[in-house]
């Protein structure tokens, strides 16, 4: 790592001030740099600054670089703030963390541009999805895409189209709040294989909001998992991580590996 990035905030400020005041100037020497930035990094820092000077950077340019490192660091969330434990289940005197259902509702309420939901199981999910349905109505331009597992029951040899029809009807009748616009729903066609050995499950469980925040959890999108079970998850406030996670699902849909499900009352999608 660049020695400038390893300096403390105080050292970065002192270095920038010394460069601007002319107390440090090329050719840089370890003795002079050490008077401003003491410690084991002074030697590496001296070499780095001389390399920048040899490349044509003036002292005030190096000062700007030091200040840019400081500004970037200030704008970056502290690790403890960027990653949050989410827990559903019994709490003890020493362990009390945020509840899964509360976090999901908050994430839905904050969405402005996009929501991606992936869930292994959804049963009687109207309460889980109510906040999202209400947000879709109140926030113009918000788009929601759900990637859900279509479960073929044991020894069910129905046509794929019939399994999908039943799933779609149950989603509308039992899982999505009545009277609200329907989201886009996608499924993995491999989950319809009649041979158990070839059947897959869309086992991912996560919520991604505005490509900025991602919640990855053990909890299914069921009332029991959100409210009563022992579940653990993590909220990651990292646009890079959230966007990559959303893009993985999007790429699978674009490639046709995840297919759009036609819901009752919509004309888009396929059921087979």
Number of domains in the chain: 2
Same domain membership, residue 235 and residue 121: yes
- Within a domain: 204: yes
Residues 31 and 100 grouped into a single domain? no
Write down the pLDDT at residue 86. Answer: 83
pLDDT of residue 47: 94
CB atoms within 10 A of CB 260: 17
Residue 38, in any domain of the structure: yes
**Domain end (from 53, 75, 97):** 75
Asked if the structure places residue 175 within a domain, the reply is yes
CATH for 255: 3.30.870.10
Q: Per-residue DSSP letters for 50-116?
A: HHHHHTT--HHHHHHHHHHHHHHHHHSPPHHHHEEEEEES---SS---B-HHHHHHHHHHH-SSEEE
From the number of C-beta atoms within 10 Å of its C-beta (0-12, 13-18, 19+), residue 70 rates as buried
Q: What is the pLDDT of residue 17?
A: 94
DSSP the chain: --HHHHS-HHHHHHHHHHHHHTSS-SSP-HHHHHHHS-STTHHHHHHHHHHHHHTT--HHHHHHHHHHHHHHHHHSPPHHHHEEEEEES---SS---B-HHHHHHHHHHH-SSEEEEEES-EESTHHHHHHHHHHHHHSTT-EEEEEE--PPPTT----HHHHHHHHHHHIIIIIS-TTS---EEEE-GGGG-SSGGG-------EEEETTTEEEEES--EEHHHHHTS-EEEEEE--HHHHHHHHHHHHHHHHTTSSEEPPPTT---S---
Residue 36 domain flag? yes
The domain of 21 spans 3-75
pLDDT at 135: 96
Looking at residue 172, its pLDDT comes to: 94
Low-confidence ranges of the chain (pLDDT < 50): none
pLDDT at residue number 219: 81
197/115 same-domain check: yes
70 and 83 in a single domain? The answer is: no
| Number of Cβ atoms within 10 Å of the Cβ of 256 | 9
Residue 99 and residue 57 share a domain: no
85 belongs to a structural domain: yes
Same domain, 167 and 44: no
Tokens linked to 113? 């541009």
**How is residue 102 written in tokens?**
């509360």
Tell me: do 22 and 143 sit in the same domain: no
Please state, in angstroms and as integers, the Cα–Cα distance from residue 30 to each residue in 40, 45, 128, following that order. Answer: 11, 8, 61
Are 120 and 194 in the same domain? yes
pLDDT digits (tens, 9 = 90+) for 53-107: 999 999 999 999 999 998 887 766 655 568 888 877 776 655 556 678 888 899 9
210 in the same domain as 105: yes
Query: 141 and 69 share a domain?
Result: no
């Amino acid at each position: 790592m660049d020695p400038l990035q390893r300096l403390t905030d105080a050292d970065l400020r002192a270095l920038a001030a010394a460069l601007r005041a002319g107390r440090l100037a090329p050719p840089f020497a370890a003795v002079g740099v050490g008077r401003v930035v003491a410690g084991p990094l002074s030697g590496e820092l001296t070499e780095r600054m001389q390399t920048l000077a040899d490349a044509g950077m003036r002292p005030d340019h190096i000062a700007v670089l030091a200040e840019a490192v400081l500004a970037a660091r200030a704008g970056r969330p502290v690790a403890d703030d960027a990653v949050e434990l989410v827990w559903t289940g019994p709490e003890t005197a020493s362990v009390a963390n945020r509840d899964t259902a509360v976090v999901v509702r908050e994430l839905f309420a904050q969405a402005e541009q996009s929501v991606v939901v992936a869930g292994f199981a959804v049963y009687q999910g109207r309460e889980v999805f109510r906040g999202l349905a209400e947000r879709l109505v109140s926030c113009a331009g918000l788009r929601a895409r759900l990637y859900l597992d279509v479960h073929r029951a044991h020894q069910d040899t129905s046509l794929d189209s019939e399994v999908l029809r039943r799933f779609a009807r149950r989603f509308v009748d039992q899982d999505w709040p009545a009277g609200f616009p329907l989201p886009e729903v996608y499924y993995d066609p491999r989950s319809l294989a009649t041979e158990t050995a070839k059947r897959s499950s869309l086992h991912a469980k996560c919520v991604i909001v505005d490509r900025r925040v991602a919640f990855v959890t053990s909890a299914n999108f069921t009332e029991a998992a959100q409210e009563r079970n022992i579940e653990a998850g993590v909220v990651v406030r990292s646009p890079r991580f959230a966007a990559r996670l959303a893009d993985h699902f999007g790429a699978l849909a674009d490639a046709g590996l995840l297919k759009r499900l036609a819901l009752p009352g919509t004309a888009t999608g396929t059921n087979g």
